[in-house]
Copies of this chain bind each other. A is one copy, B any other.
Amino acid sequence: MVDIKINDEIRLTDDKFLMIAGPCSVESEEQIIRVATQLRKIGVNVLRGGAFKPRTCPDSFQGLGEEGLKLLAKARDATGMAIITEVMDMDELPLVAEYADILQVGSRNSQNFSLLKKISRYDKPVLLKRGFGNTVDELISSSKYLSMNGNKRIMFSERGIRTFEQSTRFTLDISAIPVLHEKTEYPVIIDPSHPAGVNRYVEPLALGGTAAGADGLMIEVHPDPPKALSDSAQQLTVPQFQNLYTKVKNINAVLGKTVI
A104-162 at interface with B (beta carbon < 8 Å): 108-109, 111-114, 117, 131-138, 141-142, 144-145, 148, 161-162
Report the nearest B residue to A200, measured CB to CB: B178
Number of copies of chain A assembled together: 4
A70 at the interface (CB under 8 A from B): no
A61 at the interface (CB under 8 A from B): no
Interface residues on A, range: 35 or more
- Contact in complex: A165, B148 (CB < 8 Å): no
A215-260 at interface with B (beta carbon < 8 Å): 247, 250-251, 254-255
- Contact in complex: A173, B175 (CB < 8 Å): no
Residues of chain B within 8 A (CB-CB) of A91 are: 90, 114
- Contact in complex: B164, A175 (CB < 8 Å): no
A45 at the interface (CB under 8 A from B): no
Kindly identify which residue among B54, B56, B164, B196 contacts A164, using a CB–CB cutoff of 8 Å: B164
A208 at the interface (CB under 8 A from B): yes
Q: Count chain B CB atoms within 10 A of each CB in A136, A173, A204, A209 and give the residue with the most.
A: A204
Residues of chain B within 8 A (CB-CB) of A173 are: 163, 165, 171
Min distance, Cβ A259 to any Cβ of chain B, angstroms = 13
Residues of chain B within 8 A (CB-CB) of A204 are: 174-175, 177-178, 211-213
- Contact in complex: A163, B166 (CB < 8 Å): no
A174 to B208, CA, bound (A): 7
Residues of chain B within 8 A (CB-CB) of A112 are: 108-109, 112
Residues of chain B within 8 A (CB-CB) of A137 are: 167
Residues of chain B within 8 A (CB-CB) of A34 are: none
A180-224 at interface with B (beta carbon < 8 Å): 182, 195-196, 200-201, 204-205, 207-213
